[in-house]
Amino acid sequence: MELFGIAGLRLSGMRAGTRVGGLPVGVEVCRIGAPVGSQTRATLRVGVASARWRIAVRAGVESLALTGAAGESAVVTALVSGVALGGVTITADMESLAGGTGRDVFMTMALAGPVGGRARVLACMRYDGPGALAAGVAAVVPVHRALALLAGYDDGSETARVGATVTARRWVVSTGAFRHAVLGMSQGVSLSVAW
């Protein structure tokens, strides 16, 4: 994803998941590159799941490298849980980031459910520390078996988002943009493959 049209400011990453002995396992690597340095995160997630609920632990490392300064690293640990009640899904994510400057705790609660005949709406509340509480809402509207439209707003980052997802057999291509009130527009593309 290119961020706000600023040269060299880019978000890139990869996420993969499978089942090992019946347990869902996933790995995620994400990097934010900027003219002044970079931030990289790598995590592994292992959990258990049934038809109605799931719980998982996530662990990894996050590092920050600024030009002309010593790098910093922090240990990431998290607990993720979810339950499906009819067509409604409730998810909770609590993460701890422990580094040289202390420990930070982040929490997210999300609720997803159907609206009308086809659309799904997601509402979330996020806590990023004292005085940093944010809410967001998003909608996914399938218009064809191969095409879905997405839209959302987050009042923490003050961004509005629109996008589309195209599915062709095992391939899913998603593209979209989000607009920040001050920084402007960002565009991104993601590709998913299922096997």
Which of 14-18, 70-74, 101-105 has the highest mean predicted lDDT (pLDDT)? 14-18
- Taking only the tens place, the pLDDT of each residue in 22-80 is 899 999 999 999 989 999 999 999 999 888 999 999 999 999 999 888 889 999 999 99
Whether the per-residue pLDDT at 147 is higher than 90: the answer is yes
> ∠ CA(56), CA(156), CA(124), 5° rounding?
40
C-alpha distances (whole Å) from 65 to each of 3, 37, 69, 115, 190 are: 19, 5, 7, 44, 25
Averaged pLDDT score across all residues of the chain: 91
Q: Give the rounded percent of residues in the chain with a pLDDT score beyond 70.
A: 100
DSSP-derived letter for residue 149 is E
Domains of the chain, residue spans: 10-193
Rounded mean pLDDT, 139-162: 92
Closest to 75 in 3D by CA, of 106, 100, 55: 100
pLDDT of res. 182: 84
Q: Give the rounded percent of residues in the chain with a pLDDT score beyond 90.
A: 65
Protein fold of 10-193 = Porin (2.40.160)
Rounded mean pLDDT, 93-114: 91
